[in-house]
Structure 1
Amino acid sequence: MKLSNVFKLIAITTILVACKNSIKKEIVVTEALKKEMGFKAWAQTPPMGWNSWDCYGPTVTEDEVKANTDYMAEKLMGYGWEYVVVDIRWFVENTKRHGYNQSDPIYVMDEYGRYMPAVNKFPSAKNGDGFKDLADYVHSKGLKFGIHIMRGIPKTAVENKLPIKGTNGITADQIYSTENQCKWLKDNYTIVANKPGAQEYYNSIFELYASWGVDFIKIDDLSAPIYHKDEIELIRKAIDNCGRNIVLSTSPGETPVNAAGHVSEHANMWRMVNDVWDSWWHIKHLMEVSQDWFDYIKPGTWPDCDMIPLGRLAIRGEVGKDRMANLTKEEQYTLMTFFTIFKSPLFFGGDLPSNDAFTLSLLTNKEVLKMHAESTNVRKLYFENEKLAITSKNEKEGVTYLALFNVSDASSLDVEVKLSDLGLSGKVKISNMWKGEEVGEFNHVFAQTLAPHASGLYKIEAVK
């Protein structure tokens, strides 16, 4: 062997050893974080992804999920977007738009009363494979896979007295109650938490989801109109014991504020409101409800503003006709400014391949997404006289962020803050984060005139 080739071999070996050691170090750090923080280590920054609900309701198909996966991998993954989530009723063969078909649903489930994907919508689920192949496809793109379920146990499993996996003869009819059944979707019954077999049922479904490769789960009817504390605890325990890191999202809102301590110790994200759609009323209501939740914005556990109802909506969805979002550009900036300064999880609801250039620009602003991921100490400065001001910090970089909103319907307003209220003194440089332009240098006070429903998002740095 030539001497030059020996040197090349030594160099390559050194690089591989360094990479291996680097990977080991990363694993050790991750495991230490998991040990210290438990499930909160799984979502240290607010989760970001796509959810099929706003554009496809309960009817999304495998090809449509893959198309959105491909778009995310190509255009969004580099900006931190990573979850692809199949929403409601993937286990019903004869779903429909604008409703749930509760008259004659054809359910698909296994012998243990666990829902399985409908093969007519998800062909790769044939032969009992579940979502394994689809999850593998998502993972092959460098992304993560999620699903939606309803809390409780299927009525069909109860009626047929199906056995619960992991028990010695306990059947579904022994762990259910009709009390507090979901009012808007009657697929499931409540699970009575203290019944033998209750924990085992939840254990069995999360064992199944872990085997498929599920990374995220949104569970409905947990938080409102009744906060289901006992079932949430069953779910948390089942996830922790399933052997896979699965982010837990509770839905829908309004999650009661008096349950804030409990939900933040059991879920990674929880809805503050009911479904948010593309109308100004929804945005303003969200801002009002959020006022009680600023103290609970913490790594690993996030108050959730719901999905982002932008882009192409209701292709086969629940509210309205197939359309591009019914919000002005200013209102869309306002929605995204609020979601990001508040550090809400970001789950885009429109059909990604249908995005226009403006919609894509809202999802790929590096400065805004850096703020969303890295900022701390999010706090409201004031919400009065139709004006809202929110701030946060990036302490490592010495940056202050500021969001200003005019929520009035008719009048342009001057929205201002004292720099001292931001903990700042001396001259500062302020930039508009959406436009990427410097606004100017300021002392003492910063004010902007905003049109109705408009907002501004600013980065503030000391002048050196």
Structure 2
Amino acid sequence: MKFVFSMAFVALLAACNTPKKKAEVVDFKQWAQTLPMGWNSWDCYGPTVKEHEIKANADYMAENLKDYGWEYVVVDIRWFVENTKSHGYNQTDPVYVMDEYGRYMPAVNRFPSAADGSGFKALGDYIHGKGLKFGIHIMRGIPKMAVDQKLPIKGTDGITADQIYTTENQCKWLKDNYTIVADKPGAQEYYNSIFELYADWGVDFIKIDDLSAPIYHADEIDLIRKAIDNCGRQIVLSTSPGETPEDAAAHVSENANMWRMVNDVWDSWWHIQHLMEVSQDWYQYVKPGTWPDCDMIPLGRLSIRGEVGDDRMTNLTPDEQYTLMTFFTIFRSPLMFGGDLPSNDDFTLSLLTNKEVLKMHAQSSQVRQLYLKDDKAAITSKNEAEGSTYLALFNLSDNSEQEVEVKFADLGLSGKVKLTNLWTGEVVGQIEAETFSQVLAPHASVLYIIE
């Protein structure tokens, strides 16, 4: 392995040591009262994304999606490796970039604006200049190279990286970092130091990997929560990947703004089915500020240099794409689009800009599953301010049409009601009956507002 120090350490030290005015202390749940919506580079670029690609997606979002509530632009994994690759990480001879305190810095050959030790400040400013918000991904723990080099931990009196780590429970699929021993002197200070740096860069959102499965790392999550709260900037915390154990629900909902329920969701039907099954444990935790997360939206153009498959438009059929978006929105998951935004076709764009669907996503409450059985599912929620009810019906069968039915009494409704299809705007009409049903094709769904 090779190791590259960033330049301009004197300037960086001066900036880091300049006293900063602390932001007003606000409970972190207030930072994401509305559901985070944005774009993440993983599905289309894997660990290889470059600055010009981030900017192109930010430009598209600002022009086409910002007015609909989409605002986060997130640089995913390994932005600090000069020679990473797609379809499997380069773990043979990675060239890491970090500063003298063992903090990863952007690889300048991929992010030119990070030259001279300036980090992601310029890229963050570019995204903020579009009226958007900036996010990054990191792995939990401390870099192996920082341990090997016995680099000092900023904010301590001589504690070095080799004094706060363990090889136990190291991430099994990416070996860049070691586990941090939470009760070691210097452990909190290391996390404080990286979030101090990210606050200087203007980071608004952070996705942290290998926190939830196969082991739930409560001790490191506690360190991260404290570091964010002390950094002077309100940074939304997303823990990844799943499956987050349900017995950790109380802890994760008290420390993270969003957390993954499953592993990576790709453009295969079984991923959607599995997600709907796992989500049954999480409806009660859908609350403002802390959100169970369905993962990224694998639509549009995927795997330009991604990890699963070759460059393609999503393999999901139009019916399956509607089903995915219907579930993500009525469940009230954060929405992080995974495809390359500038490559969107009109149909993909229409799935992201339906005002009535996004209104349901933003304003509804009391989300609950009515049932999921016999390859059928029904989910409902309320718009309490307007007195309306939302209803989604799903046919999960692989090969047969099915009639999917609900009782209006189970929705708390009686008398005459009007149903409108949220995706098409078609009004079904006034109905006065005990039940309502729809015949749906395999993998199809329908989404209504009932007034």
The answer for the alignment partner of 2:11 in structure 1 is none
- In structure 1, how many angstroms separate the alpha carbons of the residues matched to 2:368 and 2:232? 36
Structure 1 consecutive aligned stretches of length 4 or more whose deviation exceeds 4 Å? none
The answer for the alignment partner of 2:33 in structure 1 is 44
User: Residue type of the partner of 1:111?
Assistant: E
SS at match of 2:227: helix
CA apart distance, 1:441: 1.6
The answer for the alignment partner of 1:326 in structure 2 is 315
The answer for the alignment partner of 2:431 in structure 1 is 442
Match for residue 233 of structure 2 among 237, 244, 250: 244
Q: Taking structure 1 as the reference length, what is the TM-score of the superposition? A: 0.92
Aligned counterparts, 1:254-403, within 5 A: 254-403=243-392
The answer for the alignment partner of 1:140 in structure 2 is 129
Match for residue 87 of structure 1 among 76, 79, 85: 76
Equivalent pairs: percent with the same residue?
A: 81
| Structure with a larger share of its residues in helix | 1
Residue-pair matches, total: 428
Q: In the TM superposition, what whole-angstrom CA distance separates every residue of 1:418-457 from its partner, at most 9, and x where no partner exists?
A: 1111111110000000001101221221110011100000
Q: Taking structure 2 as the reference length, what is the TM-score of the superposition? A: 0.94
- In structure 2, how many angstroms separate the alpha carbons of the residues matched to 1:375 and 1:284? 23
The answer to whether structure 1 residue 404 and structure 2 residue 390 are counterparts is no
SS at match of 1:360: helix
- In structure 2, how many angstroms separate the alpha carbons of the residues matched to 1:302 and 1:388? 22
Aligned counterparts, 1:415-454, within 5 A: 415-443=404-432, 444-454=434-444
SS at match of 1:108: strand
Q: What stretches of structure 2 of length at least 5 have no aligned partner?
A: 1-22
CA apart distance, 1:99: 1.1
Q: In the TM superposition, what whole-angstrom CA distance separates every residue of 1:367-423 from its partner, at most 9, and x where no partner exists?
A: 000000110000011111111000000010111000100101111111111111111
The answer for the alignment partner of 1:233 in structure 2 is 222
User: Residue type of the partner of 1:250?
Assistant: T
- In structure 1, how many angstroms separate the alpha carbons of the residues matched to 2:162 and 2:316? 47
Bigger radius of gyration among the two? 1
Q: In the TM superposition, what whole-angstrom CA distance separates every residue of 1:20-39 from its partner, at most 9, and x where no partner exists?
A: xxxxxxxxxx97xx74xx00
- In structure 1, how many angstroms separate the alpha carbons of the residues matched to 2:157 and 2:363? 49
User: Residue type of the partner of 2:102?
Assistant: G
- In structure 2, how many angstroms separate the alpha carbons of the residues matched to 1:97 and 1:436? 41
Q: In the TM superposition, what whole-angstrom CA distance separates every residue of 1:299-344 from its partner, at most 9, and x where no partner exists?
A: 0000000000000000000000000000100000000000000000
- In structure 2, how many angstroms separate the alpha carbons of the residues matched to 1:312 and 1:384? 33
The answer for the alignment partner of 2:163 in structure 1 is 174
- In structure 1, how many angstroms separate the alpha carbons of the residues matched to 2:338 and 2:242? 17
RMSD: 0.9
SS at match of 2:96: coil
Aligned counterparts, 1:197-216, within 5 A: 197-216=186-205
Q: In the TM superposition, what whole-angstrom CA distance separates every residue of 1:187-220 from its partner, at most 9, and x where no partner exists?
A: 0000000000000000000000000000000000
SS at match of 1:139: helix
Q: What stretches of structure 1 of length at least 5 have no aligned partner?
A: 1-29
- In structure 1, how many angstroms separate the alpha carbons of the residues matched to 2:185 and 2:118? 29
